[in-house]
Amino acid sequence: MSQQEHPAGTTSAEPAVAAVVVLAAGQGTRMRSRTPKVLHALGGRTMLGHVLAAAAPLGARETAVVVGSGREHVTAHLAEIDPAALAVVQEEQNGSGHAAAVALDALPDVTGPVLIVNGDAPLLRPETLAGLVAAHRAAGDVLTVLTADVDEPTGLGRIVRDTAGAVQQIVEEKDADDDQRAITEVNAGVYVGDAAAVREALTRVGSANRQGEQYLTDVLGLLVADGHRVGGYRADDPADTLGCNDQRELAERRRTLNDRVLDRLMRGGVIVIDPRTTWVDVTVEVAAEAVLHPGTQLHGVTTVAAGAAIGPDTTLTDTEVGEGASVVRAHATLAVIGDEVSVGPFAYLRPGTRLARRSKVGTFVETKNASIGEGAKVPHLSYVGDATIGEGTNIGAATVFVNYDGVAKHHTTIGSHARTGADNMFVAPVQVGDGAYTAAGSVITEDVPPGAMAVARGRQRNVAGWVGLRRPGTRAAEAAAAAAAAETDGNGHADIRPTGSAPDDEQ
């Protein structure tokens, strides 16, 4: 990372903040869920994951996450997404001030600016936190609070400033007078302050309130009373500061986040036909000139190359899509779809599927751990599991790769430019050589040499007159008798055709 990529006033050797403290111990009872509040997901990350991602560019040497309710689950998740972060247990949830004190006690050697942020603010953006920290460092204030101007401030803590613009206090709704209630600048619950000053002020925070808890907002008042200057930094977008307290608000945050993602993609040249029905995780990459049709969902680390068309009604998770590919009404997970590949409609690509350039997986086809060569086709009604299919090969309709013997999975290999008949069963392990054919209806249990025709089915036998003898009086018998009479009247003999012919070259 170059010096220019760091927030103002810092260098590559000097982090923007010394430490980040994330308050994530709350139970979140209004979520009505057994899942800890900060582990609820939106846009490809948990709420906690979004907060940590927003703070990561600040380059803090220490990150402490205060955990309490559901601590085992939160700690395990933290170990997955940020192994270097320290999980600090708040045994009793005694308020935000107590949580901050517990975190700073776990970081006794930290000096300099510390960022304190709630773990349920998933819309926070890196640029907002960078702006907050830069403003704090430039002003030299002991503490700076993130604020937002909102149209409807009811229920939120108001920011009261002096004539010089310094923050004097945060007044809660219930304690505000009429003039203070008219203030539209509100507290966002994000602070950056000098570690020593904040640490000392926290020792003086009391709990003489209705909840009997220690509030982090009281630190601001104590520092002002000590004669320190406290600053306030307004977020450009008030949505950045929104928390999430119930499932309704979580749904609203999902929509806001998705709108941001789609706006960024469209500004970059991605064609989104209907943003209202298109959902894309923040971790997804989509190139310019790709087209996302209605009902498209892109999750995880999915990538979509230029000129690809996805949807309608398609869900891709951790899937790579090449240039010019088409994926229609399909589901794919951990799959690789090459350039100019055609998938769907109604296809299911399971993990390990790899489709080479210009190959095709068509209607009602399921694949798993399958490598399909360049220009090869599996057009319809088939299951391809644990298989390798060579270039230019065509797989007939209603084909099943029988890969499981009840104990272990086995592999099937179909060579290049082979043609397999409809309704084939390939009982693994088995190999079909280059240029070989297999007859329709065959159950292939032995290897087929290159260029050979494999026929593995019982020979057809027609029992003449069976319907008339065994089903007399039925409509089938009447139809057969009428057909026989018509043939006899027309040419004096029955029309006999050969059976057991070889499959067509293409299915």
Task: Write the pLDDT tens digit of every residue in 236-287.
Answer: 999 999 999 999 999 999 999 999 999 999 999 999 999 999 999 999 999 9
Q: Average of pLDDT values for 465-473?
A: 95
Determine the pLDDT at residue 411: 98
First-to-final CA distance of the chain: 55
Q: Is the pLDDT of residue 415 over 70?
A: yes
| Helices 126-139 and 47-55, packing angle to 10 deg | 40
Q: Is the pLDDT of residue 289 over 80?
A: yes
- Going from the C-alpha of 141 to that of each of 42, 133, 420, the distances in angstroms are 35, 11, 76
Q: Which residues are within 8 A (CB) of 67 and not within 5 positions of it... i.e. 6 or more apart?
A: 24, 25, 74, 75, 78, 87, 88, 89, 90
Q: Which residues are within 8 A (CB) of 363 and not within 5 positions of it... i.e. 6 or more apart?
A: 344, 345, 346, 347, 379, 380, 381
Q: Average of pLDDT values for 462-483?
A: 96
Residue 213 banded pLDDT, cuts 50, 70, 90:
confident
CA dist., res. 248 & res. 225, Å (int)? 39
Centre a 10 Å sphere on the Cβ of residue 173 and count the other Cβ atoms it contains. Answer: 14
Contact 41, 77 (CB under 8 A): no
Outline where 28-177 has alpha helix (H): 47-55, 71-81, 96-105, 126-139
CA dist., res. 129 & res. 57, Å (int)? 9
CA dist., res. 348 & res. 243, Å (int)? 37
Domain spanning 269-454: CATH 3.20.20.70:
no
Structure tokens at 229: 């200057």
DSSP state, residue 376: -
Active site residue 6: no
390 HSE (CA, 13 A, CB side): 15
Q: Is the pLDDT of residue 183 over 80?
A: yes
Residue 147 banded pLDDT, cuts 50, 70, 90:
very high
Q: Is the pLDDT of residue 328 over 70?
A: yes
Q: Residues 160, 162, 163, 166: is their CA dihedral positive or negative? A: negative
All structural domains of the chain with their residue ranges: 3-241, 269-454, 464-491
Q: Poorest-confidence range of 13-22, 117-126, 137-146, 329-338?
A: 13-22
Determine the pLDDT at residue 488: 81
Determine the pLDDT at residue 338: 98
Contact 422, 402 (CB under 8 A): no
Q: Is the pLDDT of residue 507 over 60?
A: no
CA dist., res. 489 & res. 472, Å (int)? 22
CA dist., res. 383 & res. 364, Å (int)? 9
80 torsion bin: left (phi>0), alpha (psi -120 to 50), beta (else): alpha
Q: Is the pLDDT of residue 503 over 80?
A: no
For the chain, the average pLDDT equals 92
Partnered with residue 437 across adjacent β-strands are 419, 453
Partnered with residue 387 across adjacent β-strands are 370, 412
Structure tokens at 282: 């923040």
Determine the pLDDT at residue 232: 96
Q: Average of pLDDT values for 106-133?
A: 96
Contact 47, 119 (CB under 8 A): yes
Determine the pLDDT at residue 8: 45
CA dist., res. 5 & res. 248, Å (int)? 37
Span 33-74, pLDDT tens digits: 999 999 999 999 999 999 999 999 999 999 999 999 899 999
Q: Is the pLDDT of residue 11 over 60?
A: no
Residue 140 exposed, middle or buried by CB count within 10 Å (0-12, 13-18, 19+)? exposed
Q: Is the pLDDT of residue 424 over 90?
A: yes
CA dist., res. 296 & res. 326, Å (int)? 13
477 HSE (CA, 13 A, CB side): 10
Query: What residue type is assigned to position 321 of the chain?
Result: V
Q: Is the pLDDT of residue 297 over 90?
A: yes
Q: Is the pLDDT of residue 506 over 80?
A: no
Structure tokens at 324: 């010019």
Q: Residues 244, 248, 250, 251: is their CA dihedral positive or negative? A: negative
Outline where 189-347 has alpha helix (H): 195-202, 217-225, 247-267
Determine the pLDDT at residue 13: 59
CA dist., res. 227 & res. 166, Å (int)? 12
Q: Average of pLDDT values for 485-506?
A: 57
Q: Is the peptide bond before 312 cis (omega within 30 degrees of 0)?
A: yes
Determine the pLDDT at residue 309: 98
Q: Is the pLDDT of residue 489 over 90?
A: no
Consecutive H or E run containing 248 = helix 247-267
Same fold, 3-241 and 269-454: no
Q: Is the pLDDT of residue 389 over 60?
A: yes
Among 293, 251, 289, 255, residue whose Cα is nearest residue 274: 293
Determine the pLDDT at residue 93: 81
Residue 493 banded pLDDT, cuts 50, 70, 90:
low
CA dist., res. 360 & res. 390, Å (int)? 12
Determine the pLDDT at residue 14: 78
CA dist., res. 217 & res. 9, Å (int)? 27
Query: Which residue among 6, 380, 417, 493 is the active-site one?
Result: 380
Q: Is the pLDDT of residue 179 over 50?
A: yes
CATH class of 3-241: alpha beta
Determine the pLDDT at residue 480: 95
HEC-encoded secondary structure of 346-372: CEEECCCCEECCCCEEEEEEEEEEEEE
CA dist., res. 304 & res. 101, Å (int)? 45
